[in-house]
């Protein structure tokens, strides 16, 4: 068919009239099918566009074409094209709407700042938080996706993923991160007191489970979100000596005879450290004057020994660990 008839049959006779009429009826019968738009148009005229296999209708102003559907897909005909459908208005269904197949449904998306004035039940994708959110009639809130706002995670990378912030104690906007502010408020700091609030600062920190009124934990009565400095548990050190002391005593005498030397060397009167006198009586007979010998005597007994403990360790108390990054969901 030609799809060029203007649907205006002029006065004619015989074969001329019949040909004009047949052309008009043929365009009607084929919905003005053709690879190019009809040359003569009127409002609401139907056109089967064979170049794209689309069924189109002329708009009310007769200055453009509206697509009704895809001529190759009966399920799409009368709804919208597959490529980029655009709807406005309200779709009302008396029952469930079922969408089958392996494709996807694309929802409206935008940043937190681009949130529309919501109606109860509205759903959209928030590109700021990288999550789906819904409107409950009074406020937008993130839909449950397994990661509650305010959750803290360890990352094995230094790249913070979308929807998270590093736990670095920064002061951030109460309006930009309204959902997180509604969750943790000023627990970790009030920021400037009006427009910002603080994130937890977990850099260089170990995290300890809050006792929450449990007793016997060694952390009883501690406030949530409080910070502790490092500390050693109270303990004692003991030391022992397994060897006795030794001493060497020498003397010199120029006369023959008997020398009595007295000292008090018993463990009972030795001090804990240093030196002290014992009680040892020993007699030496000196029989030769001329040689003036040096007489030496070595004896073993308990003696004073100083014991001390040397310092050991570093600048803090810690367990073996690996450095990861803490992030918080907003």
146-204 pLDDT per residue, tens: 688 899 999 999 999 988 999 999 999 999 998 899 999 999 999 999 999 999 999 99
Beta bridge partners of 123: 134
**Per the domain annotation, does 54 fall within a domain?**
yes
Statement to judge: residues 38 and 118 lie in one domain: no
**Per the domain annotation, does 288 fall within a domain?**
yes
The fraction of the chain above a pLDDT of 90, given in percent, is: 28
Q: Rounded distance, CA 65 to CA 291, Å?
A: 141
Structural domain count of the chain:
3
Q: Which domain holds residue 137?
A: 109-141
**Per the domain annotation, does 211 fall within a domain?**
no
Q: Give every CB contact of residue 306 below 8 A, 6+ residues apart in sequence.
A: 273, 274
**Per the domain annotation, does 320 fall within a domain?**
no
Alpha helix segments (H runs only) across 50-162: none
Statement to judge: residues 116 and 58 lie in one domain: no
Statement to judge: residues 126 and 51 lie in one domain: no
**Per the domain annotation, does 291 fall within a domain?**
yes
Give the pLDDT band (50/70/90) at residue 244: low
Cα Rg, the chain, nearest whole Å: 49
**Per the domain annotation, does 36 fall within a domain?**
yes
Say which DSSP state 43 is in.
T
Read off the pLDDT of residues 254-263 as tens digits, 9 standing for 90 and up.
Answer: 455 554 444 4
Statement to judge: residues 77 and 117 lie in one domain: no
**Per the domain annotation, does 319 fall within a domain?**
no
CA distances to 277, 280, 300 from 270, in Å = 7, 13, 14
Nearest Cα residue to 275 out of 236, 240, 249: 249
Statement to judge: residues 54 and 115 lie in one domain: no
Statement to judge: residues 1 and 80 lie in one domain: yes
Statement to judge: residues 73 and 115 lie in one domain: no
**Per the domain annotation, does 189 fall within a domain?**
no
């Amino acid at each position: 068919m030609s799809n060029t008839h203007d649907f205006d049959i002029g006065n004619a006779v015989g074969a001329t009239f019949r040909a004009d009429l047949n052309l008009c009826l043929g365009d009607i019968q084929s919905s003005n099918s053709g690879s190019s738009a009809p040359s003569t148009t009127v409002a609401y005229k139907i056109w089967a566009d064979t170049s794209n296999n689309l069924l189109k209708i002329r708009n009310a102003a007769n200055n453009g074409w509206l697509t009704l559907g895809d001529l190759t897909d009966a399920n799409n005909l009368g709804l919208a094209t597959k490529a980029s459908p655009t709807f406005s208005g309200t779709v009302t269904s008396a029952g469930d709407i079922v969408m089958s197949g392996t494709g996807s449904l694309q929802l409206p998306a935008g940043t937190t700042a681009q949130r529309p004035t919501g109606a109860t039940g509205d759903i959209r994708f928030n590109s700021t938080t990288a999550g789906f959110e819904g409107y409950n009639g009074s406020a937008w809130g993130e839909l449950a996706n397994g990661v509650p706002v305010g959750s803290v995670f360890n990352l094995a990378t230094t790249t913070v993923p979308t929807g998270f912030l590093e736990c670095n104690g920064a002061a951030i906007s109460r309006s930009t991160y309204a959902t997180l502010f509604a969750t943790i408020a000023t627990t970790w700091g009030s920021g400037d007191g009006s427009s910002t609030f603080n994130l937890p600062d977990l850099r260089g920190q170990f995290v300890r489970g809050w006792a929450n009124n449990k007793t016997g934990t060694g952390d009883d009565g501690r406030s949530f979100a409080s910070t502790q400095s490092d500390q050693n548990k109270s303990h004692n050190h003991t030391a022992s000596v397994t060897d006795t002391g030794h001493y060497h005593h020498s003397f010199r005498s120029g006369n023959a005879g008997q020398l009595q030397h007295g000292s008090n060397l018993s463990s009972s009167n030795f001090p804990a450290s240093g030196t002290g006198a014992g009680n040892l009586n020993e007699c030496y007979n000196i029989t030769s004057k001329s040689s003036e010998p040096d007489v030496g005597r070595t004896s073993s007994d308990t003696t004073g020994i100083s014991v001390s403990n040397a310092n050991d360790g570093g600048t803090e108390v810690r367990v073996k660990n690996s450095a990861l990054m803490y992030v918080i969901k907003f």
